[in-house]
Amino acid sequence: MKETEKQVMELLEELCLTPVTDRSLTLVGDLALDSLRMVMLLVTLEDTFEIELDESDMNPFALVTVQDVVELAEKYVSAKEDGKDG
């Protein structure tokens, strides 16, 4: 498991108070994240990874599964590591 994936899963566990064991879990259905927690998720991703999400990526309803969140974080972390702005 990549470090980014591990951090995302830990972040989700803290947010939903449920063990996150699989990347295919849905955020709303399986983890019971409501709209407020979805927004908190985006803000926490920015803080945790020291990134700034583009406005186009700030739609919490575009994130359906844990995998979607991992991919979003990895996109910005890899861009940051490449020296680009997230």
- Tens digit of each residue's pLDDT (9 = 90 or more) over 18-36: 999 999 999 999 999 999 9
Of 19, 71, 66, 10, the C-alpha closest to 38 is 66
Q: Which two tokens stand for residue 85?
A: 């702005």
To the question of pTM greater than 0.85 for the whole model, the response is yes
Report pLDDT digits (tens) over 63-72. Answer: 999 999 999 9
Nearest to 4 by CA among 71, 79, 82: 71
Give the total residue count for the chain: 86
Contacts of 53 (CB under 8 A, 6+ apart): 42, 45, 46, 72, 76, 86
> What is the amino acid identity at position 23?
R
* Res. 57: pLDDT tops 70: yes
**Domains of the chain by range and CATH?**
3-81 (1.10.1200.10)
